[in-house]
Amino acid sequence: DTEVTQTPKHLVMGMTNKKSLKCEQHMGHRAMYWYKQKAKKPPELMFVYSYEKLSINESVPSRFSPECPNSSLLNLHLHALQPEDSALYLCASSQAPLAGGSDTQYFGPGTRLTVL
Amino acid sequence: AQKVTQAQTEISVVEKEDVTLDCVYETRDTTYYLFWYKQPPSGELVFLIRRNSFDEQNEISGRYSWNFQKSTSSFNFTITASQVVDSAVYFCALRGPDYKLSFGAGTTVTVRA
């Protein structure tokens, strides 16, 4: 089973709202990732968690705040977003955190975020 | 630095035609990994295949086949007898000995009935 689930599927929020995206995997993976994907572009890495600790922050603005409550869950808290933050947000997980090697990232279906 | 080039932006074919997607990569790593992902309109990135740099054996999986050639730094993907369900954006990606996937720009495949 290579399933990564994400909720909600769609989210519309105003610039003053606070919302959260949720990601869950039950494959026993120890690395989890957040990506942002704009229309007609490839995904861009935002954050990497390894063994529930933030390992990589790709210079993401502080209005995006990740959280990893346990090895199966990954949240992305959103606050004071801008319209240009509207995008598809993808979560992924992989077995071997930052170990290089051949581990494969498996992606969830994404959350389509619209910021008004 | 790593770079993946998918020169074909869009490909449109009629059902049952074969489609070949080109992927050319650049890396200074001696050990690296190549991937193909499919992204249908629903948005989910679906993993298709991983290839290690030390394994140049080509692979066939059903209607899908992959041709990996280190000499030309290419990892091409062919869909045989295409179907409407194959319509999607296909991404080639490269990973070195670290966490980061470098994606190509993607190729949009449209299969018409």
Q: Do A102 and B91 touch (CB under 8 A)?
A: no
User: From the CA of B31, how many Å to the nearest CA of chain A?
Assistant: 9
Instruction: Name which of A71-75, A83-87, B29-33, B95-99 the model is least confident about.
Output: B95-99
Ranges A89-103, B14-28, B29-43, most confident: B14-28
Which of B35, B45, B101 to substitute to test the interface with A, most A CBs within 10 Å?
B45
- Tokens 């995206």 map to which residue? A21
A17 pLDDT exceeds 60?
Answer: yes
pLDDT confidence of residue A1:
53
The token pair that represents A36 in the structure block: 């942002």
Residue A22 burial by Cβ neighbours in a 10 Å radius (0-12, 13-18, 19+)? middle
Which of A35, A102, A106, A111 is the best residue to mutate to test the B interface, defined by the most B CB atoms within 10 Å of its own CB? A102
Question: Sorting pLDDT into bands at 50, 70 and 90, what band is A102?
Answer: low
For B52, the closest of A41, A102, A106 (CB atoms) is A102
What percent of chain B is modeled with pLDDT above 70? 100
The beta-carbon neighbor of A102 closest among B33, B46, B106 is B33
Question: How many degrees, rounded to 5, is the angle at CA A23 between CA A5 and CA B97?
Answer: 100
Instruction: Indicate the residue of B31, B45, B52 with minimum beta-carbon distance to A90.
Output: B45
The CA–CA distances, whole Å, from A114 to A18, A67, A71, A81 equal 13, 21, 28, 10
Average pLDDT (B44-49) is 94
- The answer to whether residues B65 and B59 touch, using CB atoms and an 8 Å cutoff, is yes
- Rounded Cα distance, A114 and B85, in Å: 28
Q: Which residue in the block uniquely carries the two structure tokens 């007609």?
A: A40
Q: Which residues of A touch B8 (CB under 8 A)?
A: none
Cross-strand pairs, A5 = A24
Yes or no, beta carbons of B101 and A101 under 8 Å apart: no
